[in-house]
Amino acid sequence: MIKSRNDYVRYLQMDEQSLGIKRGLRTYLFDDIWSYQKTLRKLEYLINCSNGIIGKVITNYYRIVHRKKGRKLGFSIPPNVIGPGLAISHAGTIVINGKAKIGANCRLHVCVNIGADIKHGKGAPVIGDDCYIGPGVKMYGNIQIGNNVAIGANSVVNKSFDSNSTIAGSPAKIISAKGRLDYRS
């Protein structure tokens, strides 16, 4: 969670690195996902660090901008849910419950839904660091996903999994003892 200006700058740098952003006019004008992520991080910073009437006005302005950009791209990602190093691969539907927690250096693809449990709506997934969440993944309930986990496309994850594995299927099960970082070249 962003708790200071230094945290805010660190989150932006890690997000930029995860997305592979090359600075320039082209990125500034045409990279909508990077623009969305910068707005998300600014909103998180303002929510956690600003005070006073002017701070509230600016925070509310950024809430509106965040919602508008999210609607344009199909994202419903609440603030203070995702750690630094976020990489959103493509524009398209991504819905995350406000009670979910996602660690550092995670990659999200299109049509991902991370939601609360069915019974009470209180328990939401807690996802570790260095995770890959493939296209179409549905996760729900009071579950925990360890660090360095790759989740295959169109998987339905409704139970907890330990670190350093690849899971896939409906319902998801372990298909490999290799995690996301093990597949890097």
pLDDT in tens, 35-53: 999 999 999 999 999 888 8
- Residue pair 171/158 in contact (Cβ under 8 Å)? The answer is yes
Distance CA 90, CA 69 (A): 14
Same-domain pairing of 69 and 97 = no
pLDDT at 25 over 80: no
Are residues 98 and 158 part of one domain?
yes
Q: State which residues form the domain around 47.
A: 5-74
CATH code of the domain containing 151? 2.160.10.10
**Residues 122-138 pLDDT 10s:** 889 999 999 999 999 99
Domain count, the chain: 2
The reply to whether 80 falls in a domain is no
Which residue did the predictor score with more confidence, 3 or 118? 3
String of b and e for 122-153 (b: at least 16 CB within 10 Å)?
ebbbbbbbbbbbbbbbbbbbebebbbbbbbbe
As a whole number, mean pLDDT of residues 96-109 equals 95
Residue 85 covered by a domain: no
| CA dist., res. 110 & res. 88, Å (int) | 8
Q: What is the mean pLDDT of residues 82-92?
A: 94
Q: Give the residue from 13, 47, 74 where a domain finishes.
A: 74
Average pLDDT over residues 77-104: 95
pLDDT band at 86; cut points 50, 70, 90: very high
Residue 88 lies in a domain: no
Percent of the chain with pLDDT over 70: 98
Q: pTM score, two decimals?
A: 0.90
User: Is residue 178 a part of any domain in this protein?
Assistant: yes
pLDDT score, position 184: 57
Q: Note whether 108 and 158 are same-domain residues.
A: yes
| Domain match, 177 and 111 both | yes
* Residue that terminates a domain, selected from 74, 102, 128: 74
Do 100 and 130 fall within a single domain?
Answer: yes
- On whether both 22 and 60 belong to a single domain, the answer is yes
Residue that the structure tokens 């950009």 belong to = 69
pLDDT band at 185 (very low <50, low <70, confident <90, very high): very low
Q: Would you say residue 148 has pLDDT above 80? A: yes
d(CA 66, CA 72): 10
Residue 22 forms part of a structural domain: yes
